[in-house]
């Protein structure tokens, strides 16, 4: 049996049949837990349990101490067990640009300008090197699915979507990759928007883009929803990524979804402006978002980096959307990584454990802690229509992250670099790729 630090990699039985003994599992991440498990939950919703793994699947979740004392397995010594997380909103095509494309002042406008200038270098080789590096890091951290937005204006669409298809094929069976088109209202309204929708449908992707103040935004949104509906596509939008109280992209998207009778999934990211709008505006927006059945994803690390930034002054308004209010209103809310080491966010590594930890600290996702783990697991899995919703139960994939941390106070206080990752019940190599690999394509 194993009971030492996770850095000492144990050997699992070759037949793939063993117990994870005396772990702690978030009750909110168990599907239909037995009453005797529910009764054992602590005040943070953690359940002391044994988990049976057979041939790549979980076969039982039972109260701790139920597993045979001498059977093969890992003794977790009370360490937490999570399903592998899901990253709903990323930008793999921009990942790791920072060494050659720093944001000169950290502002949103400078990020846009820097990326536009750098995009002339985004050939297939450059994109593939950076995107694959980012996915390898995410896999080592334990992520099992990623949705990436791809800049899809002009000639870049053909390059980026071609690279994505190759990347998805290469990672099939390890990380499920989805791509969402990142286009502007001007594109939706033209033949280019229709051609992009056809390209997205061919790849099995997600349509969408960016909402911002635009004279024809309402018409453009109707067109985006129509193009998606005609092809059976889901939608994903960037909305209200500013601290202006006068932008209402989130509400417009929801109203358009209702007006068009859209039957697909709609996800909206950012929604920073809600944090500076009046209570009446917030209530009106959340009501229509709830009616539309949309999912919202908060990107706390990137929004902290960009919002309310000014030279020589401390930021006052942080731009994190209203996660507590959305959850109370019954709106599915997720957290995700967004940009990593690029002009929009100079840091990050597509580590959903870090993302969740920072979200807890930034948005006070505690008191109790036990309400919030689905925002990094189940909610994004359902938004992406994955085959497994991320709740642990008999028959689910044995795609799990094993921590030495026993409680949230331990989990959220250290980087968890000693975590172990199981995919199909087998240990994954959690060594991270070396940044020096990128020295060539980044010059």
Catalytic positions, written as ranges: 241
Q: How is residue 334 written in tokens?
A: 């997720």
Instruction: Check if the beta carbon of residue 46 is closer than 8 Å to that of residue 82.
Output: no
Distances (CA, A) of 265 to 198, 232, 274, 375, 392: 18, 10, 22, 17, 24
CA distance 246 to 151: 26
Backbone angles phi, psi at 62, to 5 degrees: -130, 160
CA angle (166, 148, 320) in 5-degree steps: 170
Q: Which strands form 57-63's sheet, in the order they lie side by side?
A: 57-63, 46-54, 17-26, 73-75
Q: Which positions ≥6 away from 38 have C-beta within 8 Å?
A: 27, 47
Instruction: Check if the beta carbon of residue 416 is closer than 8 Å to that of residue 405.
Output: yes
Can you tell me whether residue 268 is helix, strand or coil? strand
CA distance 261 to 142: 37
Can you tell me whether residue 179 is helix, strand or coil? strand
Closest CA to 172 of 198, 205, 146: 146
Cβ count within 10 A of residue 26: 25
CA distance 126 to 439: 11
Instruction: Check if the beta carbon of residue 145 is closer than 8 Å to that of residue 87.
Output: yes
Q: Which positions ≥6 away from 126 have C-beta within 8 Å?
A: 441
Q: Which positions ≥6 away from 312 have C-beta within 8 Å?
A: none
CA distance 412 to 405: 9
CA 355 vs. chain centroid, Å, equals 9
Q: How is residue 69 written in tokens?
A: 């004392």
């Amino acid at each position: 049996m194993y009971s030492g630090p996770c850095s000492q990699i144990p050997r699992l039985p070759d037949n793939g049949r063993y117990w994870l003994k005396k772990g702690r599992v978030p009750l909110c991440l168990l599907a239909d837990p037995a009453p005797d498990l529910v009764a054992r939950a602590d005040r943070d919703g953690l359940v002391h349990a044994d988990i049976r793994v057979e041939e790549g699947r979980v076969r039982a979740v039972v109260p701790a101490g139920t597993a045979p004392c001498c059977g093969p397995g890992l003794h977790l010594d009370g360490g937490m067990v999570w399903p592998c997380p899901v990253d709903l909103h990323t930008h793999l095509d921009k990942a790791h640009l920072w060494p050659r494309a720093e944001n000169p002042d950290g502002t949103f406008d400078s990020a846009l300008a820097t990326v536009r200038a750098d995009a002339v270098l985004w050939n297939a080789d450059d994109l593939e090197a950076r995107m694959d590096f980012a996915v390898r890091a995410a896999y080592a951290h334990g992520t099992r699915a990623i949705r990436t937005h791809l800049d899809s204006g002009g000639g870049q669409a053909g390059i980026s979507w071609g690279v994505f298809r190759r990347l998805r094929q290469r990672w099939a069976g390890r990380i499920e990759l989805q791509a969402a088109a990142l286009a502007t209202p001007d594109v939706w309204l033209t033949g280019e928007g229709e051609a992009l929708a056809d390209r997205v449908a061919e790849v099995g992707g997600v349509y969408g883009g960016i909402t911002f103040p635009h004279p024809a935004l309402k018409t453009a949104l109707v067109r985006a929803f129509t193009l998606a509906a005609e092809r059976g596509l889901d939608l994903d939008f960037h909305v209200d990524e500013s601290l202006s109280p006068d932008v209402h992209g989130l509400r417009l998207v929801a109203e358009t979804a209702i007006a068009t009778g859209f039957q697909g999934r709609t996800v909206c990211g950012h929604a920073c402006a809600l944090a500076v709008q009046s209570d009446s505006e917030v209530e009106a927006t959340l009501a229509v978002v709830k009616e539309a059945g949309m999912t919202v994803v908060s990107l706390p690390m990137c929004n902290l980096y960009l919002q309310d930034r000014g030279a020589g002054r401390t930021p006052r308004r942080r731009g994190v959307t209203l996660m507590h209010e959305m959850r109370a209103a019954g709106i599915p809310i997720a957290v995700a990584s967004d940009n990593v080491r690029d002009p929009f966010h100079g840091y990050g590594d597509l580590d959903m454990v870090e993302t969740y930890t920072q979200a807890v600290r930034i948005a006070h996702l505690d008191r109790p802690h036990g309400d919030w783990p689905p925002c990094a697991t189940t909610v994004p899995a359902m938004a992406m229509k994955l085959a497994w919703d991320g709740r642990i139960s008999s028959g689910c994939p044995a795609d799990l992250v094993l921590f030495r941390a026993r409680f949230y106070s331990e989990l959220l206080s250290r980087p968890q670099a000693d975590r172990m990752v199981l995919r199909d019940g087998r240990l994954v190599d959690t060594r991270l790729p070396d940044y020096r690999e990128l020295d060539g394509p980044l010059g």
